[in-house]
Amino acid sequence: MRLAVFNGSPRKKAGNTQILLEKFAEGYKSIDSDVLFGAYLKDMQKAGENVKAFKEADIIVIGFPLYTDAMPGVVKYFFEKLWLEKPLSGKKLGFIVQSGFPEAIHSTFVEKYLERFTENLGCEYLGTIIKGGGEAIRQTPEKSNRKLFDYFRKLGKELARNQQFNQDILQELKKTYMFSPAVRFVFRVIRPMGLFDRYWNKELKKNNAFEKRYDAPYSGS
Amino acid sequence: MKVTLINGNIPGNKPFDDFIDKVLSQVAAEQVFRFNLDEMDIRSCTGCWDCWVKTPGLCMHKDDMQQVLPKIMESDLLLFCSPLVAGFPSFRVKLLMDRLIPLVHPYILLYKNECHHRKRYEKYPDLGFILQKEKETTSKDLKILEEMFQRLSLNFHADVKFVRTMDHHTSESIAHEISSF
């Protein structure tokens, strides 16, 4: 069964989506080597090639970072190209959505859209793998990501074996649906200490932009 | 009352343009800033975050979005107009939505019990949507979209005031809704 993996991140290779997709494809390849990897939806001029690759695959997985609570515009562009080709029956289509927000709730709205989109295309819906707190992946050492990477390898491996997403891992990955009242309380108490701003402040200082961080260039308009 | 109208119509779909023109001709607003996306150069966000950590509030892309953002911030209503394509407003509309992030801070705080970005501006425009259905579009699809638009508005600490379709609503009723805003 041929798997085609599409990366919908506007950051292409440099993003967190790429890392998760790599682990996923690695897992699939350990069972079945027929994997097409390395297509970036940001390359909008290659939409024709990408649609062709989609049509030649049996199983398709599209990964993207959550952009304003939905798929990035470049992914939407690809969806519109696929739309022209429907029905694309006899294929299985699944998604990986990763977002910087720690809670899964942010990604559950686009999930409903993705399911309907898949149905309308005529494909069988595999499901949507939701991973919150994704921005931290690049910033933490490989070792602390081991468990997460194992999950993605396992998801890929089991997809090759059973042509399905492992539902237990899906549930595990999105178990922080929202913060509990206790977590929210702690968040509010420690918020003023600036722990959560540390990464941003470091970057701002590195760029000599810390003093300008509250700039509102369009406030006069 | 000022309105920024984002027209995401697709080439050759004249009925939708005519409908938008008709709505506008009946709207009583101080000013309407209209942007037709198919005539504009708006590139994809690259996720570089310069607008958060290098030039706070300003995108590194020097394209037509530079004219849109100040008008959005000057408006009381941000009106997205688009036919649905593959069940969602056209990709040009989504590319523009992705480019709204310079308007917020990278800092995260709790808003309505969820993590959201801190506001960069005191006030943001509320959102309105005028859509055109596809033959596949069901009422369930419109509900899913409305929820997604509400999520978008949460990030900008604003509200979705209405989601209308040219198939279900008259230009008069939509114009009235905008004018009474």
Average pLDDT score over residue span B60-73: 98
Res B33 pLDDT > 90: yes
Q: How far is CA B59 from the centre of its chain?
A: 18
Is A177 an interface residue toward B (CB < 8 Å)? no
* Statement to judge: residues A151 and A99 lie in one domain: yes
With cut-offs at 50, 70 and 90, classify the pLDDT of residue B15: very high
Q: Domain for residue A218, yes or no? A: no
* Statement to judge: residues A205 and A112 lie in one domain: no
Average pLDDT score over residue span A161-167: 97
Interatomic CA distance for residues B101 and B122, integer angstroms: 15
Interatomic CA distance for residues A22 and B29, integer angstroms: 52
| Chain A residue with minimum CA distance to B151 | A69
Interatomic CA distance for residues B13 and B21, integer angstroms: 13
* Statement to judge: residues A198 and A168 lie in one domain: no
Contact B56 A82 (CB under 8 A): no
Which tokens hold the place of B96?
């523009």
Average pLDDT score over residue span A146-165: 97
A49-58, A136-145, B30-39: least confidently modelled range: A136-145
Average pLDDT of chain B is 96
**Amino acid A220: pLDDT:** 73
A136-140, B81-85, B167-171: least confidently modelled range: A136-140
Contact B148 A110 (CB under 8 A): yes
Average pLDDT score over residue span A8-22: 95
Which tokens hold the place of A88?
């694309």
Res A161 pLDDT > 70: yes
Q: Domain for residue A13, yes or no? A: yes
Selection from A147, A148, A51 nearest residue A98 by Cα: A148
Average pLDDT score over residue span A70-84: 98
**Amino acid A221: pLDDT:** 53
Q: Between these two residues, A194 and B36, which has the higher pLDDT value?
A: B36
| Chain A residue with minimum CA distance to B122 | A219
User: Which element (helix H / strand E) includes B35?
Assistant: strand B31-36
Q: Domain for residue A219, yes or no? A: no
User: What is the domain-level CATH number for residue B46?
Assistant: 3.40.50.360
The domain in which residue A195 lies consists of 181-212
Q: What's the domain count of chain B? A: 1
* Statement to judge: residues A26 and A67 lie in one domain: yes
**Tokens 């009352």, residue located:** B1
Between positions 61 and 120 of A, the ones with CB within 8 A of B are 65, 67-74, 76-77, 79-80, 82-83, 101-103, 105-106, 109-110, 112-113, 116-117, 120
Average pLDDT score over residue span B5-25: 97
Which residue in the set A77, A106, A120 is minimally distant from B87, CB to CB? A120
* Statement to judge: residues A103 and A204 lie in one domain: no
Average pLDDT score over residue span B41-62: 97
**Amino acid A133: pLDDT:** 81
Average pLDDT score over residue span B151-166: 94
Average pLDDT of chain A is 94
Backbone angles phi, psi at B83, to 5 degrees: -70, 150
* Statement to judge: residues A13 and A101 lie in one domain: yes
CB neighbour list of residue A126: distance below 8 Å, 6 or more residues apart: A59, A61, A92, A93, A94, A159, A164, A165
**Amino acid A193: pLDDT:** 83
* Statement to judge: residues A111 and A195 lie in one domain: no
Mark residue A197 as left, alpha or beta (left: phi above 0; alpha: psi -120 to 50; beta: remaining): alpha
* Statement to judge: residues A155 and A196 lie in one domain: no
Q: Which residues from B are below 8 Å from A204, CB to CB?
A: 53, 56
* Statement to judge: residues A111 and A202 lie in one domain: no
**Amino acid B4: pLDDT:** 98
Interatomic CA distance for residues A114 and B148, integer angstroms: 12
Q: Domain for residue A217, yes or no? A: no
Q: What is the pLDDT of residues A32-62, one digit of tens each?
A: 999 999 999 999 999 999 999 999 999 999 9
Selection from A135, A133, A95 nearest residue A112 by Cα: A95
Q: What is the pLDDT of residues B89-146, one digit of tens each?
A: 999 999 999 999 999 999 999 999 999 999 999 999 999 999 999 999 999 999 999 9
Hey, is B131 helix, strand or coil? Answer: strand
Counts of helices then strands in chain A (DSSP H, E): 9, 5
Q: Domain for residue A114, yes or no? A: yes
* Statement to judge: residues A31 and A117 lie in one domain: yes
**Amino acid A144: pLDDT:** 81
Which residue in the set A116, A200, A217 is minimally distant from B106, CB to CB? A200
Q: Domain for residue A150, yes or no? A: yes
**Amino acid A191: pLDDT:** 84
User: What is the domain-level CATH number for residue A49?
Assistant: 3.40.50.360
Q: Domain for residue A134, yes or no? A: yes
Alpha helices in chain A (DSSP H): 16-29, 47-56, 73-83, 108-121, 136-139, 146-162, 167-173, 181-190, 198-206
The domain in which residue B95 lies consists of 2-179
Strand partners for A65: A98
* Statement to judge: residues A22 and A125 lie in one domain: yes
Q: Domain for residue A221, yes or no? A: no
Q: Which residues from B are below 8 Å from A82, CB to CB?
A: 86
> CB of B179 within 8 A of CB of B159?
no
Q: What's the domain count of chain A? A: 2
* Statement to judge: residues A22 and A105 lie in one domain: yes
Q: Residue A184 CB: number of other CB atoms within 10 A?
A: 15
**Amino acid B31: pLDDT:** 96
**Amino acid B155: pLDDT:** 87
Q: Between these two residues, B149 and A221, which has the higher pLDDT value?
A: B149
> CB of B78 within 8 A of CB of B130?
no
ipTM of the complex, rounded to two decimals: 0.97
> CB of A69 within 8 A of CB of B155?
yes
* pTM of the complete model beyond 0.90: yes
Alpha helices in B48-170 (DSSP H): 50-53, 65-74, 91-98, 139-155
Res A132 pLDDT > 60: yes
